[in-house]
Structure 1
């Protein structure tokens, strides 16, 4: 009888990809069937699983297992497997959506590999390789010596290949607009007031190094797109939907096509990864994935949050959380 790992999701594309990545690795290590459940309505109509619409992954099942006569861990998910993490937290812990500790209640611990239950549920805001390694090393000591980013990159390549139409669209954009050298910049909606100042110095450095380079801008903020294009004539960016009022693109009630919204995010993410230089906020899981996938030289990667004390403190807290 198959044992399952249901991998839930919450947040944007980067959050759910890094969560799914950790879950898939855990499922492989513990001989469970991974079920990546993106039915929460963020990137498809509610109840429709968005994951198989974006990625070619034959090892992941798209349908949730029935839990009628099966044991489920954490127990709170028994009878609620069809619900999203957001719905569960809203029901049982409505004031803890931003809690650092809420995952303990709604997810298994990826450092433990001896759960006997038929169905295990995993969820996190980001990757948890530091916890997962404890499980992996118990099963195979060779995991201890493998760098975390090597694990992340190899797993992204193996388990998150883009669907052919998305890949073709990405390549079509490159064939039309890509130059010999490209500098990639990621600016988030939430960073719009500070990110432009922070990118100016590394951008000048890279333009001095690659004077003929074009600049690929990935942003969810139309105001940023418009402003930077007035400052730098060699900026290129993909066409995408922006909300009338400034706000995040994902889980926006005004979005006319949530699947398309996900496609646009993935094209930007994977294009950033193919740039020769990358200027990004590493506290963004979106551009973190781009930087992990990137083959750009390390001296051409600039994390604009590397000196941010609050960001560094947050990373340390997440790293050592059980």
Structure 2
């Protein structure tokens, strides 16, 4: 497959994962679009230990995928690789590569530029190209998408939804729980996503917005997806018609999905997916634009702006951060 003459060989885009579930899903969608634009076969590699035991690829365990090739097929490939620094290290995670070659750059755009192919060109000659990004880079693909009839003239949200449906269909356990919960709550539930561990959204604004909505319809069911045990406990006391799933929440408020955490990783990854997909079925979503998790829910649910209450929509700090990330 690799290293053969040009008429026989297959060109691959190896899509690595880093960060939380929303980050890696939307970033993978960006990579999958690039693969289609460039005529490459995509392989998604989530062996970094965040959502499955280290070395196990979480992606095919969590999703029913049309991708048939395994990332292990590229591990020992003796062929040209881009970026060249990945040659001989294709088994490594992005986290390991940054640790080994650029440890000071975990939070810097330098790492993305150094370890990811240049998305602004499609004619990368190497057999294997490696893509990763902490956040999706759709802006860098806009020129190519404009010129391609498969994408030209289509709204980005619709394209993202198409790729989510094609490559990120949850496994049977997740789908079953999503259907059960959505049926139990009914069609008019308000979804509330509160990230409150290593990163915190404005909790008071979330609660204020929720109470405002409940004044219009006091008996509306609420689905809460949070990573913080104290937030969940408090909201169960304060709001009567509140639903949430049973999942592990660290008592110390630390981040849950991380290579070093000692948890049932597949089960907790599935729980995160249940949260994400149930939120997507709610009639309204209260969230922060800081969170790619809830952004992914909005894409999955094809939510209109009128269904979204973004508690950070007027935050100059968040808007500036998003602008910097957009152009980084």
TM over 0.5: yes
Q: Compute the TM-score of the two structures, normalised by the length of structure 1.
A: 0.93
- Name whichever of 269-278 and 209-218 sits farther off: 209-218
Match for residue 212 of structure 1 among 194, 203, 219: 219
| Aligned alpha-carbon RMSD (Å) | 1.8
**Residues 65-104 of structure 1 correspond to what in structure 2 (within 5 A)?**
65-104=74-113
Are residues 1:15 and 2:23 paired? yes
Query: How far is the alpha carbon of 1:148 from its aligned partner?
Result: 1.8
Q: Compute the TM-score of the two structures, normalised by the length of structure 2.
A: 0.92
Are residues 1:30 and 2:41 paired? no
Match for residue 169 of structure 2 among 161, 168, 182: 161
Are residues 1:287 and 2:303 paired? no
Match for residue 306 of structure 1 among 305, 309, 313: 313
Query: How far is the alpha carbon of 1:68 from its aligned partner?
Result: 4.1
Conserved? CA contact 2:197–2:253, under 8 Å: no
Q: Give the Cα–Cα distance (whole angstroms) in 1 for the partners of residues 193 and 313 of structure 2.
A: 15
> Does the residue aligned with 2:193 lie in a helix, a strand or coil?
strand
> Does the residue aligned with 1:95 lie in a helix, a strand or coil?
helix
Conserved? CA contact 1:73–1:120, under 8 Å: yes
- Counterpart for residue 61 of structure 2: 53
Could you say if the C-alpha distance between residues 30 and 241 of structure 1 is closer, same or farther in structure 2, counting changes exceeding 3 Å?
same
Could you say if the C-alpha distance between residues 310 and 8 of structure 1 is closer, same or farther in structure 2, counting changes exceeding 3 Å?
same
> Does the residue aligned with 1:115 lie in a helix, a strand or coil?
coil
> Does the residue aligned with 2:290 lie in a helix, a strand or coil?
coil
Are residues 1:119 and 2:128 paired? yes
> Does the residue aligned with 2:110 lie in a helix, a strand or coil?
coil
Unpaired runs of at least 5, structure 1: none
Query: How far is the alpha carbon of 1:62 from its aligned partner?
Result: 2.5
Unpaired runs of at least 5, structure 2: 1-8
Conserved? CA contact 2:30–2:138, under 8 Å: yes
Query: How far is the alpha carbon of 1:267 from its aligned partner?
Result: 0.3
- Counterpart for residue 107 of structure 1: 116
